[in-house]
Amino acid sequence: MIRKIDHIGIAVTSIGEVLPLYTEILGLPHLGTEEVPEQKVRVAMVKAGEVKIELLEALTPDSPIAKFIRERGEGIHHIALRTDDIRGALARLKAAGLRLIHEEPGTRGGEYAIAFIHPRSTRRVLIELCERS
């Protein structure tokens, strides 16, 4: 069902201020930065071995990332787990009694399918499932 950790999402107020920590100081390669309007975020990806770190900056004050930062401050937002069958994974998780934020997967920039498990079902950890094409 789950193959590996795909990425760790970190909510930040400014990618421009935080990115040098990861690229210049820690020496991790920057894979790119893009806006994801459907999620109201700007995303920068850096690579740490086989796992990516996703820096998330809100594009609007009503963005889920803006709300997260207002309530909790900057920090780890979610852990994304890679699956080869997101629909099957969601069905199994729902059957096991987990609360899903998304019962049907959405897409991230048309690149891959995503869905979130509600943190009330996972001991306050927001888990994203992703299936890459």
Domain 2-132 matching CATH 3.10.180.10: the answer reads yes
Per-residue pLDDT tens for 14-47? 999 999 999 999 999 999 999 999 899 999 999 9
Model confidence at 50: pLDDT above 90:
yes
Q: Is the pLDDT of residue 128 over 80?
A: yes
2-11 vs 75-83, strand pairing mode: antiparallel
Q: Three-state DSSP class for 126?
A: coil
- Which tens digits make up the pLDDT trace of 100-126? 999 999 988 777 999 999 999 999 999
CA distance 90 to 128: 11
Q: What SS3 state is found at 16?
A: helix
Band (133; pLDDT cuts 50, 70, 90): confident
Please check whether residue 87 is in contact with residue 93, taking contact to mean a CB–CB distance below 8 angstroms.
Answer: no
H-only helix segments in the chain: 15-20, 64-72, 86-95
pTM of the model: 0.93
